[in-house]
Each structure stands twice: as C-alpha cells, then as structure tokens.
Structure 1
Amino acid sequence: MKRRSFLQFGQQDQKRQIASASATFTTTDLDPYTGPWSTAEAAFLLRRTTFGPTPSQIKQAVADGLSATIGQLFANQPLPDPPVYYDYENDPNVGLGETWVNTPLPNPNPAGSFGARSRSLLSWQMGLMMNGGVSIREKLFLCWHNHFALTTNNAQFGYHYLNILRTHAAGSFRAMVEEVTVTPAMLRYLNGHENSRQAPNENYARELLELFTVGRGDVAAPGDYTNYTEDDVVQMARALTGWRGVTDDTGIPAGVFVPSRHDEGEKQLSHRFGNAVIANAGDQEYKVVIDLILQQNEVARFLCRQLHIWFVSADIDAVVEANIIDPMAQIMIDNDYEIQPALEALLGSNYFFEAAHRGCMVTHPLDFIFKINNTLKMSSDANLLNQYRFWNQLRRLAEGLEMEILEPPSVAGWKAFYQAPQYYNVWINSVSLPLRQEAGDRLLSGYTLGGARWQLNLLDFIAEMDNNLDPNSMLEQVALYLFAYPMADNQRDFLKEVLIPGLPDFEWTVEYADYLQNPDDPDLRDAILTKLTSLFSTLFKMPEFHLI
C-alpha cells in the first residue's frame, strides 16, 4: 500500500471516531483540563510522554488522576548507572561488565574498542527507553537530542552529551544550552574545536541562532532574518572562539578554554540585539552570548513551538500561536527558561486533550518499537550483559528504520519534526512500511541471546483486558491500549475474524475459559498463543497501529 492511501485509511477511521465522540473540546487556551479522565485520556497522555505504557501503568494513572500522573511524569530521579562493556574483553583498563565512560582508551587502541564502546552506549540508551517507566525524561531526552542534533563516533563524548540532555531534560534550558555549547561532542561536530581568533568558524554560532535558540525568522533585508543578522553570526562566532573538545588527564571528556585562541576584541551586535557590545569575558564569554540571545522573547516562542510539534501536533496556526504558544512562552520566560512549568501547563490543558490531537502523528520508529516491546511486556530473566545484547537488537531495529541515537540525518534533526507540510508522515513510505512490518514480526517472534529468551507476554497482556472472555469486549479493550482512538465496529469484526476465523463468539469464550482453568496445560496454552500471535501480527500491520 502506498504511504498516502495507507495513512488516509487510518486517518479516515480516526475522523469518523472523532465525529462520533460524545465529548470533544474546541478550546484553544491553556485552561486546566476539565473533561473525563478515563483509560482513553490516560493512555493518550502516557503514549505521548513515555515509551510504550503498559495496561497496568495506564490503569494506575486513571486511579491516580491527571494531576498526580503529571507529577509522576516530572518527578526527579537520579541519573542512571553508566553503560558497561557487555561483549568486549580486550580493553586492558576496563573489564567485562565494567564502565568505560571515564577511562580513556590505551594508545594504541585495542582492535574493536571504538565499536565496542559505541555498541555499549547505544544499547544502554535503548535499555533506558525500555525501562523508563512513568517518567517523561526519556521522551524529553529524545526531543532535545533532535533539537541539539549531532553525530559522534566517540562514545565518551557521546555519553557526556547524552548526560547533559538527560540532566536538564525538564529543567533549565539555559543551563542545557550553555553545557551543550562547550561539550566536546558539539565542539567537534560543529567545528567549535577549530574556532580561533586566527581562523574564526561560524558553524556553531549560526546553528546556535537558527536551530537551537531564536530561529531564523522571515527575511527582512539582505543578511537580516528578523531575529538576527549575518553580522550577528560573525560577531558571536568571534565571541565563542578558544574552546577545544578533549579528554582530560582523568579520562573525562571536557571542553577546555585556550586563552591564546580567543578573540579578545569587542564584538558589536546588530539592532536585533539592541546594538549590544560583547566585551572580552574570557572563558565566560560564551555565557554572555547565550544570555544576550535568551533576552529575546522569540527564543521562548521558538522552543515552545518545538515542544508543541513533539508532544501535540505540527499544526500551529495563528490562533494556536496566540493562545497556546505565546502563553507557554511567557510561562517559560517568567521561570527563567525552566522547561517543566510551560510543558506541564500544556500537558494538563483542555487543549492537549482535544480529540483532534489523538492519532494525528505517525509513530516515529522508537515509539513504534517500544509500543510493541513495552506495552506487550517483552521480558526475560537474563543477566545484565545479556540484557545489553537484547537492547542492541532493539538498536539494530531502530537503525533499520532510520532512527538511531547519535545518528540524526542532519544538524536539523529528523525531518519528521521540521519538514512541512509532511512532518510525521515522512516516517511511512514504500521502503519503511515493509521494514516496519518486518520489525513487528521480528519482535513478535522473540529473541534467544546468550541462552536467555525474550518473548512478548501476550497472555499477560490479554489477562489485563476487562471481560476478556467476550472477544468483542476484549478487542475493544486492546484498542484502548494500542490505538489512538476507539476501535470501529468494522475493525473489531475484521480482527475477530483473524482471532476465530469463521467461528461464533462462544468458541473464543469456551477455549479461553478452558485455558484459564488449566493454564499449565501446554496444548491449551499453545492454542491460545497461536490465535493471539496471529491477531497481533495483524494488529501491528494496521494503519491505526502506526498512529499515536
């Protein structure tokens, strides 16, 4: 099926559901949500803010209420333990199962060491998404990774950069952009490492303005983009000179300031920055630059648009700009660029829960993978090193679907979050759709790695459905947890035919009841699993499954 017809099929069903919904909201403000709080609303919130919420997590959110659930999403938690070697034993300084993040590689580097550290880091990150629980941190981390997009093959630099994003994910944008500016991964990626008074390099200064903070704006005049000018790029590049991305003597990645490489002259900015003059401030001058940029209110609006695209939709018209983006931006400004207050206001609003926002996004590959892996409770009793092996398999699936951590396609991030008018629809095409279907079947078949078995727990998932003896009710419940909107009658009937082809409803009731009474009977168990495997293989291929 072509992308257009595939997506239209799913979105037509969505529109029918929205049109028949008993309670919809047409508000365009940030007033606190006052509508129903049920499985549908809790599932929508958790799908947008976490990776693959389980039925039990959604049920707990319903019981806790919206306010408490948002509180849990933003609850502080310690940083995770660092990644370890899981399949490499040739590093003389770090053993199997030990972390390498603060240990430089020996010189010469042992064969395979760079690849081993990269696999460890990227597998570790997949594990964090798999085990993130009811916390927005990993979704926000990915949002900021897309925002401050970079690539690096140095795993120590990559870990340092990822830790910055995770540390400040819901906290201070000011602190985050300051640390990103002088982290070795970014200094190397956008040539800050080469930026000196003798040979100024404008790459980072340009992206700092255009992509990371204030945005370009409309062209007002030659070299003037409304929010900054070409000369501002030149002057800010001079102010950012002198930094080098290195691994220090203790083995920890660091941005190091070299005074002799810094331009100590005055930097004259344009009228876009009030004709400000940046005087020499040595190793603190980059903070002066960032402070001047953050004094522009457009920065907060630019960031809030990005959060809206990530968590709500890409549809931002003049009304949304005035009634959603501007108030969010003011909250952010009033809180000195703290991210949490503005995002909490958005996620807890009537506007966020508008029916039109449900199913308006195509799942990105990581959401697609974890919607299967997490919601259907992929599990194993494997030890830590074997868990890394499984996480690496998830990484390889994401790589095949063109969404790998530390490998965004450009400094602008993944196209789905900026390329109008397609936005999220770019994830589905004639190449990616078959690959998604293969990925779904691969997860459904499970993995055996290092003697351990990973398998989706379809029986446990179905056990959590209300009235699971009735195939109609059971399938409607499945849709609550896996689809963005209620299942239509024709969809339910289609799936029931997959589950019990040509048979009356009571056949499922009898067979499932027999299994419940004798769950240790392998024949009864296998018969139910065969039916469920066929059902979920079909579900994963439905257009609705790819919407969030």
Structure 2
Amino acid sequence: MASLNPLGPNLDLRKAKHLLRRASFSLTREQLNTFVGIAASEAVNLLIKDTTNVLVEPYDPLPTSNPDGFWTSSTELPNSFLGQGRKRGFVSAWWWYNAMQSLTLKHKLSFFLHTSFTVGKDSGVGAATYFFDHLNLLDFYALGNIKTLAKKITLDNGMLDYLDNTQNNKNNPNENYAREFLELFTILKGQQVGEGNYTNYTEIDIQQAAKVFSGFKKRNDRSDIDPDTNIPMGYININQHDLNYKTFSNAFNNQVITGKTTETGAFEELDDFVEMVFAQPETAKAYCRKLYRYFVKSEWDQEVETDIITPLAQILMDNNYELLPVIKTLLSSEHFYDADDGDATDNIIGSIIKSPLQLLSEICSIFSVTYPNPNSDPLRFYSNFFFNFIHNSYFKAAGMELHNPDSVAGYPAYYQEPSFDRNWFSSNTLIGRYKLIESLIEGKNTITGGNIYAKLDAVQFVKNKIDNPTDPNLLVSEIADLLYPESIDSDRINYFKSFLVDEGFPDYYWSGTWSQYLNDGDDTTVRTRLNALIIAMVNAAEFQLM
C-alpha cells in the first residue's frame, strides 16, 4: 500500500543518494557522507534553507572594450542595451552558478516553479533584465507560498509581456494569460464536457478571468517595486480595467467578483479571483501531481492517486498552499524511498531519466569540475564556458533550451504523455549527452568546437575522492556507488575494470601503474585509462537515471 508514513530506518547510501539527486542540483561525496545515517525527516530539514545567492546579479563582460557590466542594476531602460539574447543567457548562467554553490532544495523548487509558471526567456519575456526579475521572483517563493506567487506573477513584467496581458484592455480583451493561468498554471482542464469547456473551467471563466486581468501593464522602467519581495513589478491602469462585475460558471459555483473602480480595488479583484481558483480541490491536486512527477515518478496508478496525491493535496490546502509542508511529507515518506511495499527495487529509485540540467550539474559537482570564476574571470565564465558551450552547444544538442521551452506548456518531460522524462533521451539528444563528459575531460567543445575553459581532472578526482584507488575492483565499485542509483554487479565491475586493466592482465597491473604514478608523479598512463573509465561510466545507462 502506498504510504506517506515517515520512513523509519535512517538513510543508507542508496537512499541518501536518491534524496540528494531528487532534491538538489549539487552532489558530492562529502555531502553524501553527511546524510548517510540520519533520519529522512532530519535530512529534508537540512535541505530546506533559504541561502543567499553567491552572485547577487549577472555580469556582461561584453563588449570587451567597454563591458555592459552589471546591467540589471543600471538606471538605463532595460531594452536600451544591445545583445539581449546573450544577456538572457548570462542570466541563466547566474542562476545556475548560484544553484551549484549550496546544497539546498531552494533552486530545485525554483526550477519546479519555472515548469509550473512557464516563460520562454527567448520567446517573448522581453529584455534580459525582466527575465532576471522573473527568476528572482521564482527564487523568492521557492520555499514559500504558491498561491501568493500566482498573484505576484500576474504582475511580473516578463510574464505580462510573454503572455500579452500588458495588451489586455477592457475594450480590447486579450485572453492569452487568462487561458494559460487556468489551463497550465493552476487548476488545469480536467475532462472535456463540451466544445471549449472542461470539468474544471469553461470558456466563460476564461473570458471573465481576462476581465479581472485587464489593465495590468508592464512597467518598462521597473520603477514600481513590490513591497513584499522588493522586486520590480507591473502596474494597474485603472482606465483600461474592466469595472463590471465578473460572473463565473458553475465550475466555480457561479461566483461573482465585484468590479472595482480604484487601483486598490483592481488588486482586490485579482486577490478574489486567485482565492477562488485555489479554493478548488482540483487546483491542489494539480500541483501535487506536478510535484509527484517532478520529484518522484512520471506515472502512477490509482493507488498512488488515492493514497499519495489526494492526502498531499489536502495538506497543501490545509496549509493555505505553503509548499514546504507538502515537500517535507513527501520527501520523508516511505513511498518516496520505495519502502512501502515488499519490492524495494521496482518503483521509485532510479525511475527518472535525468534532464540535461541535472546531468550537467551532477557531473560538475561529483567530479569537482573546474570552470572559470564569474567574479575573477567573467568573460570566460559567462561567454566562453556557459553561453558558448553549455547554453548554445550542449543544452541544444541534448534537447533542452534552459529557461526557454518550446511552448508555454513547458518541457515535454513534465507534461507530455506517454513519454514524459523519456523525452530527454532519444536518438536526437544522445550525442549531446554523451559529448558532455568528453568535452569536460578534453577541455574543449567536442560538439561544435572551441575552448571551454573547463576541465574534469580524473586523476585528481580518484586521488582525492576514492579510498581504494590501487585496487581496480574497489575503485570501480566506489565510483559506481557515487554515480549510480543502485549498486552494480560483478559483471558490470569487470566490464568497467577493462578500461584500467587490459584483457588477460592481472589486477596488479593497475595497482603497479597507480603506485608508479604516486612515486614519480608521471600521470600519463593513469590519466589515459581513468579518462576512458570515467567517460564509460558516465555515459553508461545507469548514470542517465536518478
């Protein structure tokens, strides 16, 4: 029986790896050691910390003769700067670097919010500074209240542009944002009951929601600051706001929102509308299904719907849509660790294919990949390493444009049945995923060419992180225990060992080779073999899963 009961035994290595992979972008051996042997609830509490960003804002080192620098804090209009596409990429670089600097649920939940309130940074969000504000808003509410975010994001300048609500006026309604707010961001459709009408809302509700949203405008100069978040926001032009009563369908019990004639009143209408939508149990269930798919597994049966999704939705509603009570319950539960039935290997652990973002982040953290520091070497970090290699080459080849999904529905891995996360791994994306580790080991872009100014040092990794590097069997086993969701058997150990010891040679061949390197410092042979081993183990099927 699927169970939300707290996990009883303390975390072993297998369960600690599972939690850290699902709950963070950073994973190191030292972090794993900290979590092994403690209770699941304690482990989750350690991950819930609102860390301060190491990088306060992104930096544009271009043009090299006169860099735009910290353009997001400039008093100039955001759209007055050149190179907006590049700058939006640099904002993603800023976000990723911060996510890599601490072990926290914050950035994993921030990305979850990105999949729930989707914008495409290169397909309508506007100038890069508005996108920076948008990500700051997601970060602000990552450990907070998703209902409050639904109100705040309506006034987000990037969202106002992306879904055209800045063009929504009382005499010329634009229903784009209203439609996506209901269909994708909150309650979702439910079963279709007629042309354009669904169980959870109707076309009438979209029309009335558009009236509630009318007159909310983008503030180009970012001069309106939200007092709760201190983040720039849009404004209400009351002259373009529909002042009439808004009457919703039977899906919302025919609720009427009174039209208001003041700016304060327009915000009250927005508040009333969001409260109405979030009062529906289906809204809570929609978010809990998204959370389940994001953290646990892409598909589930009726038992999970009854015993996991439904009670989580009730917890969400009981806590007025605060995220953390639900997250704590889920990530501390027997179900999350596959411990609620007789077969602990058939359901959860190792069931999700890693996104290109997760793959990159794990490789960089596990292997202590060195890449340029954005403070001391911003040109090489932002431009050469992240934008040219990670953003424009690796992510695109691997089938993920970071913060820029193909549509407002988001990344297919999080919504498109029946494939879901299997969309990340296909004949079109395979080469991009496999070339990542080769590029990092060689220090050059093996996908499209060029110096990436980053390096994975396999010799130093083994020397500093592996307890038994002289024994090829133990070396392979230790690396596998760090990389893979499950332990590997002797056949797989022997396969990977063949990259260290040629067929027909005894194990002591490697032992002697390693000892000789320690004695004379010549790492030529061990580096060649360890590079081949790491590439094989990272590109193995086991590492594609989490």
TM-score (norm 2): 0.88
Q: Which residue of 2 is the match for residue 370 of structure 1?
A: 361
Q: Aligned residue for 2:507? A: 505
* Alpha carbons of structure 1 residues 282 and 492: separation in structure 2 relative to 1, 3 Å: same
The answer (yes or no) to whether the contact 1:127–1:388 under 8 Å persists in 2 is: no
Shift of 1:364: 0.8
Q: Check conservation: 2:72, 2:78, Cα contact below 8 A.
A: no
Q: Distance in 1 between matches of 2:311 and 2:106?
A: 23
Identity of counterpart residues, as a percentage? 29
Q: Distance in 2 between matches of 1:106 and 1:387?
A: 23
Q: How far did 1:440 drift?
A: 2.3
Aligned match of 2:262: none
Task: Give a deviation string over 1:181-211, Cα, whole Å, max 9, x none.
Answer: 1111111111111111001111111111111
Deviation at 1:277, TM superposition (A): 0.3
Aligned to 1:315: 299
* Residue equivalent to 1:545: 543
Deviation at 1:64, TM superposition (A): 4.9
Structure 1 position 434 matched with structure 2 position 436 = no
How far is the alpha carbon of 1:384 from its aligned partner? 4.2
Question: One-letter code of the match for 1:420?
Answer: E
Q: Distance in 2 between matches of 1:405 and 1:251?
A: 28
In 1: Cα distance, 2:474 partner to 2:156 partner: 53
AA at the equivalent of 2:478: Q
| CA deviation string 1:335-355 (max 9, x = no partner) | 110001101110111100113
Matched ranges for 1:30-429 at <5 A: 30-35=4-9, 37-62=11-36, 64-79=38-53, 80-88=55-63, 97-105=69-77, 109=80, 112-131=82-101, 133-151=102-120, 152-248=125-221, 250=223, 253-280=232-259, 281-354=265-338, 355=345, 356-380=347-371, 382=373, 383-385=376-378, 386-389=380-383, 390-392=385-387, 393-396=389-392, 397-429=394-426
Give the equivalent residue in structure 2 for 1:16: none
Structure 1 position 474 matched with structure 2 position 475:
yes
The answer as to whether partners of 1:417 and 1:424 remain within 8 angstroms in 2 is yes
Query: In the alignment, residue 272 of structure 2 is paired with which amino acid?
Result: V
1:126–1:395: 8 Å Cα contact kept in structure 2? no
Equivalent of 2:3, from 20, 29, 46? 29
Quick one: structure 1 residues 220 and 452, their matched pair in 2 at CA, closer, same or farther if it must change by over 3 Å?
A: closer
- Aligned Cα root-mean-square deviation (Å): 2.4
Residue 70 of structure 2 aligns with an amino acid whose one-letter code is E
Structure 1 position 412, deviation (Å): 0.7
- Does residue 456 of structure 1 match 2:448? no
Give the residue type in structure 2 aligned to 1:277: V
Q: Is the 8 A contact 2:10 2:38 kept in 1?
A: no
Contact 1:273–1:292 under 8 Å retained in 2? yes
1:290 and 1:192 map into 2 onto residues whose CA distance is: 16
Residue 100 of structure 1 aligns to a residue whose secondary structure is helix
Report the alpha carbon displacement of residue 36 of structure 1 after superposing the two structures with TM: 5.0
Cα offset, 1:167, TM superposition = 0.7
The residue number in structure 1 matching 2:229 is none
Report Cα offsets for 1:449-472 as digits up to 9, x if no partner: 999953213234323234332211
Stretch of structure 1 that moved more, 453-462 or 292-301: 453-462
Q: Which moved more, 1:381-390 or 1:76-85?
A: 381-390
Q: Which amino acid aligns with 1:143?
A: F
User: CA 1:475 to 1:155, structure 2 compared with 1: closer, same or farther past 3 Å?
Assistant: same
1: CA distance between counterparts of 2:78 and 2:133? 19
Change (3 A) 1:68 1:153: same
Distance 1:169 1:249, change over 3 A: closer
Deviation per CA, 1:417-464, whole angstroms, max 9, x where unpaired? 111111111112212112211222112212599999532132343232
**Alignment partners' CA distance in 2, 1:372 and 1:184:** 35
Alpha-carbon contact 1:102-1:156 (below 8 Å) kept = no
Q: Which moved more, 1:446-455 or 1:227-236?
A: 446-455
Distance change >3 Å, CA 453–CA 276, structure 1 → 2: closer
Following TM superposition, where does structure 1 have runs of at least 4 consecutive aligned residues deviating by more than 4 angstroms? 249-253, 447-453
> Residue 224 of structure 2 contacts residue 234 of structure 2 at CA under 8 Å; is this kept in 1?
no
The answer to whether the Cα contact below 8 Å between 1:224 and 1:230 also exists between their aligned partners in 2 is yes
1:250/1:102 CA distance change after superposition, 3 Å: farther
Higher relative contact order (CA 8 A, sep 6+): 1
- Give 1:243 deviation, angstroms: 0.9
Moved more, 219-228 or 406-415: 219-228
For 1:100, the aligned partner's letter is T
Distance (Å, rounded) in 1 between the aligned partners of 2:311 and 2:399: 35
How far has the Cα of 1:145 moved from its partner? 0.9
More displaced, 78-87 or 276-285? 78-87
Question: Contact 1:127–1:391 (CA<8 Å) still a contact in 2?
Answer: no
CA drift at 1:222: 4.4
- Partners of 2:35 and 2:89 lie apart in 1 by 35
TM-score scaled by length of structure 1: 0.88
CA distance in 1, matches of 2:396, 2:452: 23
CA offsets 1:241-264 (integer angstroms, 9 cap, x no match): 001112236497531110110000
How far residue 381 of structure 1 moved from its aligned partner, in angstroms, is: 6.7
Q: Which stretch of structure 1 is more off in the superposition, 34-43 or 262-271?
A: 34-43
Q: Which residue of 2 aligns with 1:488?
A: 489
Is the 2:78–2:221 contact (alpha carbons within 8 Å) kept by the matching residues of 1?
Answer: no
**Distance in 1 of aligned mates of 2:529 and 2:435:** 19
